[in-house]
Amino acid sequence: MSYTGQCNCGAVNAKIEGEPVAVRQCWCRQCQKAAAGSATTNAMFPTEAITFHGALGSWSYEAASGNTLTQSFCANCGTPVMGQSSARPQFRTLRVGFLDQAQGLKPQVIIWTDDAPEWAVIDPELPTFARQPPPPPSQG
Ligand SMILES: [Zn+2]
Ligand SMILES: [Zn+2]
């Protein structure tokens, strides 16, 4: 399987080879701002599987874990594109909204539910983590 992604204005696009290693929904406060009030839904792919074209803007901050998180977005239209952690340079977490093929990329885990507003709809079928979950399995 391969995936493609594009921002709202078309200035940034991407091609991704293979399947995500994890799909997660995140309710942390930074994600609520990136997603305009809701959670972000993120598909984590190996870094080398992704090819980008176009100008990304980025913003970095130190997370509660002490790791540096970098959020990237289209420099022109602001569409959220991905996040990455200094602790896991081998992965990029692409925003599912950026991808052209959202079908099949259902979240498997919901994280940072401690920060979710009381009106958040959280799938009772899915495992949840109140805060940061353990890292995903290593892919060698
Ligand atoms: Zn754009
Ligand atoms: Zn988050």
Task: Report pLDDT digits (tens) over 9-51.
Answer: 999 999 999 999 999 999 999 999 999 999 999 999 999 999 9
State the burial class of residue 70 (Cβ atoms within 10 Å of its Cβ: 0-12, 13-18, 19+): middle
Per domain, the residue ranges of the chain are: 2-129
Ligand in nearest proximity to the CA of 76: 1
Side chain identity at residue 54, one-letter code: G
What's the CA-to-centroid distance between 71 and ligand 2, angstroms?
10
What's the CA-to-centroid distance between 44 and ligand 1, angstroms?
21
Ligand in nearest proximity to the CA of 133: 2
CB atoms within 10 A of CB 18: 14
2-129 fold: 2.170.150
Ligand in nearest proximity to the CA of 55: 1
What's the CA-to-centroid distance between 137 and ligand 2, angstroms?
19
What's the CA-to-centroid distance between 108 and ligand 2, angstroms?
15
Could you tell me the strand order of the sheet in which 56-62 lies?
Answer: 56-62, 68-74, 80-85, 91-95, 40-46, 22-26, 109-111, 128-129
For residues 57-86, give the mean pLDDT. 94
- Percent of residues, the chain, with pLDDT higher than 90: 88
| Residue 75 confidence (pLDDT) | 97
